[in-house]
Homo-oligomer: A and B are copies of this chain.
Amino acid sequence: MLVGRSAEAAQAAADQLGWAESETDWRSAVNREDIDVVDICTPGNTHAEIAAAALRRKHVLVEKPMANTVAEAESMARAAQDAQSRGVQAMVGFTYRRVPAVQLARQLVAEGRIGAVRQVRAQYLQDWLADENSPLSWRLDKEVAGSGALGDIGAHAVDLTTFITGQRFAGCLRDAGHLREERPVAESFRGLHGTVNDQRGPVTVDDAALAMARLESGAPVTLEATRYAWGRKNALRIEVSGTSGALAFDFEDMNVLHLYEANADAVTSGFRRILVTEPDHPYLEAWWPPATVWATSTASRIRWWTSSARWPAVSSPHPASRTVSMCSGSWTQWSVR
């Protein structure tokens, strides 16, 4: 069952995506006996309430950002912990964790293949707001979205850092702000894009967010999330430098992981371009057949859900939410001429 605010739009989406039914009242959906799993993909300001209700009876997948405030995230985490004692699973939808190249990166760090982590640089670059006439949407409204690039895509950069390094963040200095203070008001939307009218309204979230952070070990991390980087469509990038090697990944080349091992013969040392599409690679069994190049799919997503041994239930606010919180103290406002 697919739930939306407009009966008509919900039914149209259900038809397009192949869902049996649609509904406009999420409460009735989370109370139905024949539904086992709830996927919360509404704007962030509604996550906590829906999750609280859904966790009473259903397994819950909440899309990122988990919540708009740390207080909400903490209450959700407590509810998830309670639910877990009743056999109910909960998780946050950080889909990029399940890319085989990312799985391999995590595995190699855990095996010590690059030694101890010394530095991380993580970026998430997109360009869908780089057109200064692209319209306002709920994602640009702080009341609804909570934050801008930071929560929307920065959360993935933070999550990938913790997922690959196996460490949490210990501190953060953040800078963020508007690159555009007003935008045209949208008449209608098609995905992230839309048609506009001649009115303008304020952008109340950050267009880009930067941070200099530390991991638990003290290792420095540079973070950047922006929706203002012309030409970068989905550049979720991470490079981890260790004491004996390094790893680099860019989601725009999602089947590839680059690995540098310092202990190799110096004359032939270099980053190795690993095409992470072979049968021995992690998580490939949930993907498409080997010997070719593949991507995320509904099938693999369902596989994630059912492979609970690998996907730990959320029992405390997700590190990404905590990091966003730690970063909140140093907010500054830009005004770019």
Contact = CB atoms under 8 A, between A and B. Distances in A.
Given A212-B175, A218-B334, A292-B234, A268 B275 contact: no
B104 A267 contact: yes
Interface stretch (A4-12, A54-62, A136-144, A241-249): A241-249
Given A121-B224, A230-B241, A272 B275 contact: no
A70 interface: no
Interface in A294-315: 294-299
Interface residues of A, number: 88
Interface in A246-276: 246, 251-255, 259-260, 262, 266-275
B294 A295 contact: yes
A27 interface: no
Nearest to A177: B220
Most buried by B among A210, A232, A296: A210
Contacts of A295: 288, 293-295, 297
Interface stretch (A42-50, A81-89, A122-130, A318-326): A122-130
Contacts of A173: 173, 175, 212
Interface stretch (A31-39, A197-205, A278-286): A278-286
Given A218-B337, A243-B132, A271 B231 contact: yes
Contact of A272 (B190, B270, B290): B270
B298 A280 contact: no
A12 to B, nearest CB: 15
Given A119-B179, A297-B297, A222 B224 contact: yes
Copies of the chain in the assembly: 4
A208 interface: yes
Nearest to A96: B292
Contacts of A132: 243
A53 interface: no
Contact of A280 (B208, B229, B266): B266
A175 B294 CA distance: 32
Given A290-B191, A291-B126, A278 B246 contact: no
A55 B290 CA distance: 31
Interface of A: 104, 108, 113-114, 116, 118-119, 121, 123, 126-128, 130-132, 173, 175, 177, 179, 190-193, 208, 210-212, 214, 217-220, 222, 224, 226, 228-234, 239, 241-246, 251-255, 259-260, 262, 266-275, 277-281, 288-299, 334-337
By Cβ-Cβ distance, the 3 closest A-B pairs, closest first, are A231-B260, A295-B295, A270-B274
6 contacts: A131-B262, A190-B279, A231-B269, A252-B293, A259-B268, A267-B278
Given A191-B290, A268-B272, 15 more contacts: A118-B228, A119-B228, A127-B262, A128-B291, A131-B262, A217-B336, A220-B336, A226-B241, A230-B245, A231-B271, A233-B291, A233-B292, A266-B278, A271-B273, A272-B272
